[in-house]
């Protein structure tokens, strides 16, 4: 399997291949800025690649997901880069402890500044800032409740929560999954995509012009009540956009790792990243090792394929395959991709039935 995929405006690279520590390097082809999903070993990334990182999305802090932290800060601290971290509850304190484990007397007062967004099970986020100026004290920056109430998105689809802007053109949402501990799954969304409805504009006697770009800029900035002039006539941006623009936010990459196969987890994943273009998903075990997967709260090749088909994912990328398959990781991948090809052809009801059957087998296993 190719370990770098290009999808629309982004490039997605499995830093340690399919069997090494979990880490995905995601680079925007527009801005050149990069994000990391998880912090497994980073030594194969160049200094230049590490300097492009603006945001780090940590699923949880099991050793193999967090051991690259030191490599990242070593490459970036001298450049006064303000890094943003997202992760489960408690990750801000863990980052604070990491930073306090080193001596920092030789640097400028404002040299290191980090922002950390923690997401909890209910979908609420708590943000912190910390820096070397005061010995990495945690400063609360604000709390956001989940923007979806249970009435708009009933459980188990909720909660999900907006976390942060990854780059100027992307944003990230996350949701906590059950891995015995919280493990956050993430969705990386691109900037808005617009389609100009030529026929509608003609019906309204609106001639195409620079106002279309202006209108798109207002909508991208969530400004719906500004006034915009078209051929001398003033329109409210929200009303005009509703008439002549179709727009959507592309769900470019979903990152799911370390979770139990359960309806609650599957529902949360679906609520966050239905129709995602690329799903990068852990595949710790082959389909015959359901017992171990369940006991360790991981997924099998078949379970991953069921989730991907249920999401109607465009592509499935398997990774984080257990070292027990080191002689032939591709066998596990092929197995999962074959299942995915089969399940993708089924309708949603049939996929749900397959999921129910698999869940029955999972529930019979002692954890
Ligand atoms: Zn793991
Ligand atoms: Zn884990």
CATH number of the domain that residue 126 is part of: 3.60.15.10
- Cα 341 to ligand 2 centre (Å): 27
Are residues 281 and 318 both part of a single domain? Answer: yes
- Cα 64 to ligand 1 centre (Å): 6
Q: Answer for the pair 327, 295: CB distance below 8 angstroms, yes or no.
A: no
Residue 255 within a domain? yes
- Cα 62 to ligand 2 centre (Å): 5
pLDDT in the model for residue 217: 84
Are residues 187 and 197 both part of a single domain? Answer: no
- Cα 280 to ligand 1 centre (Å): 13
What's the pTM value of the predicted model, to 2 decimals?
0.87
Least confident of 85-99, 158-172, 184-198, 227-241: 158-172
Confidence of residue 265 (pLDDT cuts 50, 70, 90): very high
Alpha helix stretches (DSSP H) within 39-138:
47-51, 63-66, 69-76, 91-100
For a pLDDT cut of 70, what percent of the chain falls above it? 92
Residue 348 within a domain? yes
Q: Answer for the pair 22, 40: CB distance below 8 angstroms, yes or no.
A: yes
Which ligand ends up closest to the CA of 38? 1
Domain boundary among 215, 248, 281: 248
Are residues 51 and 150 both part of a single domain? Answer: yes
Which ligand ends up closest to the CA of 283? 1
Are residues 227 and 256 both part of a single domain? Answer: no
Distance CA 109, CA 131 (A): 9
The sign one gets for the Cα dihedral 204, 207, 211, 216 is positive
Q: Which residues surround ligand 2, an ion (CB under 5 A)?
A: 62, 258
For residue 11, give both structure tokens.
């490039």
- Domains of the chain: total: 2
Are residues 89 and 64 both part of a single domain? Answer: yes
- Cα 63 to ligand 2 centre (Å): 8
- Cα 183 to ligand 1 centre (Å): 9
Neighbour-count burial of 87, counting CB atoms closer than 10 A to its CB (0-12 exposed, 13-18 middle, 19+ buried): buried
Q: Give the pLDDT mean for 244-270.
A: 92
Residue 160 within a domain? yes
Instruction: Classify strands 10-14 and 4-7 as parallel, antiparallel or unpaired.
Output: antiparallel
Q: Answer for the pair 336, 329: CB distance below 8 angstroms, yes or no.
A: no
Domain boundary among 248, 268, 292: 248
pLDDT in the model for residue 167: 60
- Cα 101 to ligand 2 centre (Å): 23
SS3 193: strand
- Cα 165 to ligand 1 centre (Å): 25
Are residues 68 and 130 both part of a single domain? Answer: yes
- Cα 293 to ligand 1 centre (Å): 12
- Cα 265 to ligand 2 centre (Å): 15
Which ligand ends up closest to the CA of 62? 2
pLDDT in the model for residue 192: 75
Instruction: Classify strands 182-189 and 170-178 as parallel, antiparallel or unpaired.
Output: antiparallel
Residue 222 φ/ψ region, left for φ over 0, alpha for ψ in the -120 to 50 degree band, beta for the rest: left
Predicted confidence (pLDDT) per residue in 18-66, tens digit: 999 999 999 988 888 999 999 999 999 999 999 999 999 999 999 999 9
- Cα 217 to ligand 2 centre (Å): 41
pLDDT in the model for residue 168: 60
- Cα 22 to ligand 1 centre (Å): 7
Distance CA 12, CA 82 (A): 23
Distance CA 158, CA 328 (A): 38
Strand partners, 187: 173, 254
Residue 339 has pLDDT above 80, yes or no: yes
Residues 6+ apart with CB under 8 A from 82: 113, 114, 115
- Cα 327 to ligand 2 centre (Å): 22
Strand partners, 164: 172
Distance CA 144, CA 135 (A): 26
Predicted confidence (pLDDT) per residue in 118-174, tens digit: 999 888 889 999 999 999 999 998 776 554 333 333 333 334 455 666 566 677 889
Q: Which residues surround ligand 1, an ion (CB under 5 A)?
A: 258
Residue 367 within a domain? no
Nearest Cα residue to 362 out of 284, 315, 303 = 303
Are residues 65 and 78 both part of a single domain? Answer: yes
pLDDT in the model for residue 345: 98
Distance CA 113, CA 223 (A): 31
Are residues 277 and 150 both part of a single domain? Answer: yes
What interhelical angle do 301-311 and 348-363 show, nearest 10? 150
Which ligand ends up closest to the CA of 23? 1
Query: Average model confidence (pLDDT) for the chain?
Result: 90
- Cα 182 to ligand 2 centre (Å): 9
Neighbour-count burial of 314, counting CB atoms closer than 10 A to its CB (0-12 exposed, 13-18 middle, 19+ buried): middle
- Cα 22 to ligand 2 centre (Å): 10
Q: Answer for the pair 302, 294: CB distance below 8 angstroms, yes or no.
A: no
Are residues 82 and 223 both part of a single domain? Answer: no
- Cα 231 to ligand 2 centre (Å): 59
Domain boundary among 248, 281, 316: 248
**Helices and strands (H, E) in the chain, number of each type:** 12, 19
- Cα 20 to ligand 1 centre (Å): 10
Least confident of 45-49, 123-127, 190-194, 347-351: 190-194
Q: Answer for the pair 39, 67: CB distance below 8 angstroms, yes or no.
A: yes
Are residues 50 and 165 both part of a single domain? Answer: yes
Identify the domain containing residue 41 by its residue range: 4-191+250-362
Residue 5 has pLDDT above 90, yes or no: no
- Cα 175 to ligand 1 centre (Å): 17
Are residues 123 and 173 both part of a single domain? Answer: yes
- Cα 33 to ligand 1 centre (Å): 26
Are residues 81 and 197 both part of a single domain? Answer: no
């Amino acid at each position: 399997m190719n370990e770098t995929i290009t999808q629309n405006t982004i490039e997605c690279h499995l830093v340690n291949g399919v069997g090494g520590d979990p880490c995905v390097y995601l680079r925007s082809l527009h801005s050149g800025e990069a994000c990391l999903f998880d912090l497994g070993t980073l030594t194969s990334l160049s200094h230049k690649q590490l300097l492009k990182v603006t945001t780090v999305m940590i699923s949880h802090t099991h050793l193999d997901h967090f051991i690259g932290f030191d490599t990242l800060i070593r490459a970036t601290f001298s450049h006064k880069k303000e890094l943003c971290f997202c992760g489960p509850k408690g990750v801000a304190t863990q980052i604070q402890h990491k930073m306090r484990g080193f001596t920092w007397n030789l640097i400028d007062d404002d040299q290191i500044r980090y922002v950390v967004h923690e997401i909890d099970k209910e979908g609420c986020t708590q943000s912190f800032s910390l820096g070397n100026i005061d010995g990495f004290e945690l400063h609360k920056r604000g709390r956001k409740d989940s923007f979806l109430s249970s009435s708009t998105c009933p459980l188990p689809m909720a909660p999900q929560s907006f976390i942060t802007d990854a780059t100027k053109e992307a944003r990230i949402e996350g949701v906590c999954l059950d891995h015995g501990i919280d493990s956050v799954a993430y969705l990386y969304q691109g900037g808005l995509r617009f389609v100009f409805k030529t026929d509608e504009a003609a019906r309204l006697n609106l001639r195409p012009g620079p106002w279309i770009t202006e209108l798109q800029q207002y909508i991208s900035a969530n400004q719906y009540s500004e006034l915009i002039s078209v051929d001398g006539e003033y329109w409210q941006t929200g009303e005009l956009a509703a008439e002549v623009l179709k727009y959507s936010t592309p769900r470019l990459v979903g990152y799911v790792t370390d979770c139990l196969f359960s309806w609650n987890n599957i529902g949360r994943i679906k609520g966050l990243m239905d129709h995602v273009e690329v799903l990068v998903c852990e595949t710790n075990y082959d389909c015959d090792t359901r017992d171990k997967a369940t006991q360790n709260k991981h997924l099998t090749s078949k379970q991953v394929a069921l989730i991907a088909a249920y999401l109607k994912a465009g592509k499935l990328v398997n990774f984080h395959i257990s070292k027990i398959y080191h002689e032939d990781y591709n066998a596990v991948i092929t197995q999962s991709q074959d299942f995915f090809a089969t399940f993708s052809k089924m309708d949603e009801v049939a996929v749900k039935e397959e999921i129910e059957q698999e869940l029955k087998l999972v529930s019979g296993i002692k954890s």
